């Protein structure tokens, strides 16, 4: 929402869900967002950018925005200085407000820590050059003591591990742009940004509650990076958790531990990450059940792993067990991380089991149970870490809901769960021989284990439908919607913006035209002849995000996703203003969504004048001075180069300039569509001025000196004969003005005809010009152009004027009208565009 727009908070509060990953495959985030929409919230999901995804996306109609994090503070090794411009003054800086709210009178402690910081750095530098590794390790230990002391200070974690401050900047910035009414923080990365934003809003008299949803036991996680990373994140959670309005986690045991560790007044709520009862089959053209995709018959043992793949999660143990299981296959369904996928297949190759290892991409969380239910069983092979000892992985609930028996490593929580419910077997973590034995035991008792899964209470309890009630109770207690959502969760969560014009809604191919209004001629003829057309005013392209109204950008993308089959850009314009990357990235994103994408340039100049003159030496440009040509060339390049470079992405360009289509690759000619009250009037004579002598229109165009001389003569001769002559300047002339003249003099130095000629024909007017070759590969009716050259134009036009006075040109009038109707009423324009786009890969 924007500051000027009416807030929707009274009916549908805006919930922003923050997570420190790219969202794809994070089933807890996906399910939480769907639950929030169902509960009556307007939801936006914010993740972080990743090379495998586009910046803007959707999940079941809910917009996703992936933020950039430049990690500038981290790169500069914690130098405490501003590294990028802010959107607010120092007095209104959210981080300054947050700092004033949090800083306590601890300067004597801070001074001691600073001295310790300088001293240990100096010591480490000296001994690193002079002493052995043991001394260096001793200095590192001192450094860790320093880090822990610094982390104990309010916001000290920002100095210990500046990486956290970079996340704080990134999430705080997007919250400023989205202006939520309530925030749901998934895991640790967005914690500082959410806390800073809430404190800043509180300083302005607004309360924005936020929920911390801890997905894992942070003290037990093996965090990447040096010890300072772990120290910093633990300190950040320990401080910021007390500022959250509610705390949630994934199991009762984790809730108890968090309450004890952080001395929380209330025990965090438990929301198990279980699948929904409803299964959503996928389009067979997109994905099929796992057994079909692996090409296996029903009798072949197939065990699945669902979720993020990493060595710490024990995936290689599964591969290493296969030599002991000759007929068994395993399938990994998870992230597209190239490194771990290569490691899995390398290990499979070393063991000679490549043909029995299958790597599959994620499916939407709502379809997981449908996708895996044909497998024999599911495996959770976690290796031993403090966090894994306490975890009951989401995949276990997914296996249970799919009706699969379960095999787990002997991590405390998951092993107890499987044994208590008698739904599978347990093996020693990291031991492939014991895993193979556990698989043999499960296969021997498969019917008994299946019965326990299907008939026991475990399946009833392990559902998201049951768990989400805690979520909804928590949210509504902090910021309650006044009414539930009216639309199904598959609809976009944000309505189209006010600058969207729906021209018409009819069956057929739907067009979204970026950079146009609902009065645009192409949008109108598309709606008339092809389907529906929606226009968006668009934004100036930018290589960096941040300047556009983000809710408006997300609304535009939701509208395009929902409506469009075809997306055309009306020139160098952006739908996202940089928030989905440069225009080329936007177009790649649209292609990946299955949209047909092109660029509509109309009559804008595209051809370098040097190329034009090499193909048409008699073109009027040949008479220009070198300085004039240079200026014109720069002007053409400014407009055309960005568009022509997009052809590398595979984007076709559509133009009404036949010469550009002739000379440039993948530039396609289409006739200019004529729309509006002046086009194809029912009675062409009504546009004439009866009783007056005929009017001759000399349209403004590029003309040779010889042509200009002849037209000067024509103007004098016609005026002396009592005929009216109009010779407007280019800036004051509209092509449709041609309908008000009786004879139109088009360009005679270049072949073909102008848009003004097409307008004249639509009103049954006579057009004089130079006949050209029809665009290559297009079967057009013969043009009714009256041919003339500079040497003959005076005589030709004067004869036509005399004939017009005596009403002898009706046959030419009729031919012009018929030509315009067959070529320029929009049908051929739409047909040409669709023909080209149908061949787009």
Tens digits of residue pLDDT in 568-616: 999 888 888 788 888 888 899 999 888 999 999 998 999 999 998 998 8
The domain at 14-103+161-270 falls in which architecture? 3-Layer(aba) Sandwich (3.40)
pLDDT digits (tens, 9 = 90+) for 242-256: 999 999 999 898 999
What is the reported pLDDT for 77? Answer: 47
- As a whole number, mean pLDDT of residues 463-475 equals 92
346-388 confidence digits (pLDDT tens) = 999 999 999 999 999 999 888 999 999 999 999 999 999 888 8
Q: What CATH architecture applies to the domain 500-669?
A: 3-Layer(aba) Sandwich (3.40)
User: What CATH number has the domain spanning 684-823?
Assistant: 3.40.50.2300
DSSP string, 246-294: EEEES-HHHHHHHHHHHT-SSPPEE---PPPSS--PPPTTT---HHHHH
**Euclidean distance between the first and final Cα of the chain, in Å?**
36
Residue 767, both tokens: 């057009």
Distance CA 35, CA 5 (A): 26
Q: How many residues does the chain have?
A: 841
> ∠ at Cα 361 (356, 366), nearest 5°?
120
**536 CB burial (10 A radius; 0-12, 13-18, 19+):** buried
130-144, 430-444, 664-678: least confidently modelled range: 130-144
Answer whether residue 188 shows pLDDT above 80: yes
Residue 716's pLDDT band (cuts 50, 70, 90): very high
For the segment 97-120, the average pLDDT, to the nearest whole number, is 48
pLDDT band at 828 (very low <50, low <70, confident <90, very high): very high
CATH class, domain 290-457, is alpha beta
Q: pLDDT averaged over the chain?
A: 84
What DSSP character marks residue 44?
E
List pLDDT tens digits, range 479-505.
999 866 544 444 333 333 333 444 443
What's residue 386's pLDDT?
86
Question: Which tens digit of pLDDT belongs to each residue from 379-413?
Answer: 999 999 888 888 888 899 999 999 999 999 999 99
Residue-wise pLDDT for 6-23, tens only, equals 344 457 899 999 999 999
Res 111: pLDDT = 46
Q: Which residues contact 812 (CB under 8 A, 6 or more apart)?
A: 766, 784, 786
Taking alpha carbons only, the member of 543, 548, 554, 553 closest to residue 582 is 543
Model pLDDT, residue 121: 55
Buried/exposed code over 91-117 (b: 16+ C-beta within 10 A; e: otherwise): eebbbbbbeeebeeeeeeebeebeebb
Residue-level pLDDT at 229: 85
Q: What is the pLDDT of residue 743?
A: 95
């Amino acid at each position: 929402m924007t500051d000027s727009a009416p807030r929707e908070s009274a009916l549908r509060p805006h919930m922003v869900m923050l997570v420190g990953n790219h969202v794809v495959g994070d089933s807890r985030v996906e399910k939480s967002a769907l639950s929030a929409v169902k509960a009556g919230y307007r939801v936006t999901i914010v993740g972080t950018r990743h090379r495998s995804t586009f910046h803007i996306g959707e999940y079941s109609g809910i917009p996703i925005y992936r933020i950039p994090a430049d990690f500038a503070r981290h790169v500069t090794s914690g130098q405490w200085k501003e590294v990028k411009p802010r959107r607010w003054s120092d007095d209104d800086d959210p981080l300054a407000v947050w700092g004033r709210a949090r800083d306590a009178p601890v300067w004597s402690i801070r001074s001691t820590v600073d001295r310790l910081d300088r001293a240990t750095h100096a010591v480490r530098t000296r001994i690193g050059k002079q002493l052995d590794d043991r001394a260096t390790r001793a200095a590192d230990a001192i450094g860790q003591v320093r880090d822990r002391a610094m982390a104990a200070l309010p916001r000290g974690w920002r100095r210990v591990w500046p990486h956290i401050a970079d996340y704080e900047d990134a999430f705080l910035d997007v919250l400023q742009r989205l202006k939520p009414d309530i925030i749901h923080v998934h895991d640790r990365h967005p914690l500082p940004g959410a806390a800073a934003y809430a404190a800043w809003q509180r300083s302005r008299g607004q309360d924005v509650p936020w929920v911390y949803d801890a997905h894992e036991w942070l003290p037990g996680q093996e965090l990447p990076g040096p010890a300072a990373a772990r120290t910093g994140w633990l300190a950040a959670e320990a401080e910021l958790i007390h500022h959250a309005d509610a705390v949630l986690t994934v199991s009762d045991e984790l809730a108890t531990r968090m309450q004890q560790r952080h001395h929380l007044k209330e025990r965090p709520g438990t929301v198990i990450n279980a699948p929904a009862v409803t299964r959503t089959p996928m389009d067979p053209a997109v994905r099929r059940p796992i057994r079909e995709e692996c090409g296996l018959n029903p009798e072949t043992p197939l065990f699945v792993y669902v979720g993020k793949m990493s060595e710490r999660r024990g995936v290689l143990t599964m591969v290493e067990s296969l030599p002991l299981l000759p007929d068994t296959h395993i399938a990994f369904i998870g992230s597209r991380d190239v490194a771990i996928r290569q490691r899995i297949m390398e290990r499979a190759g070393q063991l000679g089991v490549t043909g029995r290892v299958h790597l599959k991409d994620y499916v939407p969380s709502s379809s997981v149970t449908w996708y895996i239910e044909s497998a024999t069983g599911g495996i959770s092979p976690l290796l031993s870490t403090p966090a894994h000892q306490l975890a009951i992985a989401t995949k276990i609930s997914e296996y249970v809901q799919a009706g699969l028996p379960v095999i787990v490593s002997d991590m405390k929580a998951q092993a107890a769960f499987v044994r208590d419910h008698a739904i599978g077997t347990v093996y020693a973590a990291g031991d492939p021989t014991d895993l193979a034995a556990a698989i043999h035991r499960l296969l021997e008792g498969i019917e008994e284990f299946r019965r326990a899964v299907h008939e026991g209470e475990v399946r009833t309890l392990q559902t998201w439908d049951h768990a989400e009630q805690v979520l909804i109770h928590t949210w509504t207690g902090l910021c309650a919607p006044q009414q539930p959502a009216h639309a199904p969760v598959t609809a976009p969560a944000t309505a189209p913006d006010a600058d969207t014009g729906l021209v018409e809604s009819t069956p057929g191919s739907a067009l979204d035209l970026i950079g146009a209004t609902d009065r645009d001629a192409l949008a109108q003829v598309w709606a008339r002849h092809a389907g529906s057309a929606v226009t968006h005013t668009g934004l100036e392209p930018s290589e960096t995000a941040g300047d556009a109204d983000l809710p408006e950008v997300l609304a535009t993308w939701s509208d395009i996703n929902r409506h469009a089959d075809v997306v055309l850009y009306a020139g160098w314009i952006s739908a996202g203003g940089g928030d989905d990357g440069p225009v080329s990235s936007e177009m790649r994103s649209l292609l990946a969504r299955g949209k047909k994408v092109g660029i509509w340039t109309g009559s804008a100049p595209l051809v370098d004048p040097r190329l034009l003159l090499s193909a048409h030496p008699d073109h009027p440009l040949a008479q220009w001075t070198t300085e004039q040509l240079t200026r014109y060339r720069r002007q053409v390049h400014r407009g055309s180069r960005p568009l022509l470079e997009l052809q590398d992405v595979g984007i076709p360009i559509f133009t009404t300039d036949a010469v550009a289509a002739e000379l440039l690759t993948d530039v396609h000619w289409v006739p200019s569509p004529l729309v509006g009250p002046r086009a194809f009037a029912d009675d062409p004579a009504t546009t004439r001025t009866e009783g007056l002598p005929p009017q001759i229109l000399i349209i403004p165009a590029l003309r040779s000196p010889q042509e200009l001389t002849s037209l000067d003569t024509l103007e004098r001769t016609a005026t002396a004969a009592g005929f009216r002559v109009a010779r407007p300047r280019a800036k004051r002339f509209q092509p449709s003005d041609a309908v008000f003249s009786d004879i139109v003099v088009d360009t005679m130095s270049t072949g073909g005809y102008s848009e003004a000629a097409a307008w004249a024909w639509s009103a049954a007017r006579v057009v004089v010009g130079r006949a050209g070759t029809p665009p290559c590969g297009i079967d057009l009716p013969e043009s009714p152009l009256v041919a003339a050259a500079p040497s003959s134009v005076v005589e030709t036009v004067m004869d036509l004027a005399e004939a017009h006075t005596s009403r002898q040109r009706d046959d030419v009038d009729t031919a012009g009208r018929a030509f315009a109707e067959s070529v320029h009423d929009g049908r051929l324009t739409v047909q040409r565009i669709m023909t080209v786009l149908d061949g787009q890969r």
